[in-house]
Amino acid sequence: MSLQDSNGRHRLQDDYIIGPVLGYGGFSVVRKGVHKENGTEVAIKTLRKQGFGYGDKKNGRKSTAGPTQDSLISEALVANEIIVMQRIVENVSPHPNIVHLHDVYEDEAGVHLVLELCSGGELFDRIVAQEKYSEAQAAKVVKELATGLCSLHDAGIVHRDLKPENCLFLTPEEDNHLKIMDFGLSQIDGATSPIVGMFGSVDYVAPETLSHRDVLPASDMWSLGVILYILLCGYPPFHGTSNKEKLDLILAGDVNFEEYTWKTISSHAKQLIRDLLAVDPHRRPSAKALVSDPWVRGDIAKQDRLP
Ligand code: ADP
Ligand code: MG
């Protein structure tokens, strides 16, 4: 499976029936597809080779603004996502917590990544629907994401854009696997590329990435700490009245548990958040350590959870 393989081979439309749009990203549109011969349902992520601006996914609008940034950057992003996905296929897949890449096609419309279909929706939408999670539910989400990150980090990949919009449930069942996806900004060990210096959503970005453009596996652990905080209380840990204030809070790792919601949350959970949101990346637990943490494993009995 490589871009070369798809050249001169079948076209996407020869192999798949293209279905409805599943979602829009900043640089892509994702549609459902069904394999014509074996009936396998997939998600087809089309990355346009030139220019951004497929639209605003939350509004489902299609942008008419056209390319808004240097097309060289968008080409670099497309190339980067393919390289990372191929590294995942070679070193990690199949993995219960990482979206699998089945195939790649290329045509004049762009590059099409044929992905495992995750029909359970984004973690983002479940948080919005549920407002906040119980500790047991949050621990399960953290365990799933840490298990995926553990394999990514072992393969020398830092995700760099971990957030609830980039985590999908495999099926609509409540306790189905959660999958990490969207490797557009991911970075392979020490690789230098035009994406260095870019980062994903500011709400989830680690202080070392903001201040020094450092990208470490521990930077993903920070993002996971932000996700855990949001799961337990329903709002983000760093929310100043201005962007500058927010950035200052992130750089200082100034997280607080003062609001009422936190009164009923265990000291274990709060300590874990403090550890993940340590400003010094070397003080954060690794994904591997997190997977065997007793709170994450659900080994802490309910009565021990009281603050
Ligand atoms: P971008 O890199 O542009 O942010 P994403 O990879 O995050 O694009 O995909 C955009 C949206 O498309 C996702 O938030 C999700 O709703 C949907 N999507 C992406 N991949 C899949 C998939 N494998 N299965 C189902 N839906 C998907
Ligand atoms: Mg995305």
154 as an active site residue: the answer is: no
Give ligand 1 pocket residues (Cβ under 6 A): 22-23, 25-28, 30, 43, 45, 57, 99, 115-118, 122, 165-166, 168, 181-182, 184
What ipTM was estimated for this complex? 0.97
Burial of 35 (0-12, 13-18, 19+ CB in 10 A): middle
User: Looking at the predicted structure, is the pLDDT value of residue 199 above 50?
Assistant: yes
Which protein residues have a CB closer than 5 Å to ligand 2 (ion)? 25, 166, 182
pLDDT at residue 129 above 80?
Answer: yes
To test the pocket of ligand 1, the residue of 24, 45, 100, 101 to mutate (highest count of ligand atoms within 8 Å of its CB) is: 45
Looking at residue 304, what is its pLDDT? 55
Q: Annotation-wise, does 143 bind a ligand?
A: no
Whether residue 92 has pLDDT greater than 80:
yes
pLDDT band, residue 56 (cuts 50/70/90): very low
Lowest mean pLDDT among 60-64, 66-70, 243-247, 269-273: 60-64
Catalytic residue among 103, 161, 220, 293: 161
Q: How confident is the model at residue 236 (pLDDT cuts 50, 70, 90)?
A: very high
**pLDDT at residue 69, as a whole number:** 52
The pair of structure tokens assigned to 57 is 């996914």
Best of 168, 177, 201, 204 for a ligand 1 pocket test (most atoms within 8 Å of beta carbon): 168
Nearest Cα residue to 137 out of 179, 186, 103, 175: 175
Say how many Å lie between the CA of residue 252 and the centre of ligand 1. 32
